[in-house]
Amino acid sequence: MEVTIRRWWIYHHYCAMVMALMSLTWEIKGQPDCAMKHKGVQLFLGWAIMQGFAMLLQNRYQRQRLYTGIALGKVLIYPP
């Protein structure tokens, strides 16, 4: 089976790294811009929920592709 990494998949990982870095370094309490940062946290949580849903879909797709590859004899689970 040929493996191709699509451009959106690479961008998605860069976006995930940036969002994780922001969530680890961004303080909310006691800052003058608290409302704006709170909105940013809400946006991040919405993005994280969509990210989780995309991961579930990706896992299901990959399991189906693996099953198909095994059934067609193109994929070996235990190499000799």
Domain that holds residue 11: 7-71
Is the pTM for the entire model greater than 0.75? no
Please report, in tens digits, the pLDDT of each residue of the chain (80 residues total): 445 667 877 888 888 888 788 777 777 666 666 777 778 778 888 888 898 898 899 889 888 888 888 888 887 777 65
- 34 occurs within a structural domain: yes
The reported pLDDT for the residue numbered 79 is: 60
DSSP 40-66: HHHHHHHHHHHHHHHHHHHHHHHHHHH
Per the structure, the count of domains in the chain is 1
Q: For tokens 């704006």, what's the residue?
A: 36
Residue 1, domain member (yes or no): no
Structural domain includes residue 78: no
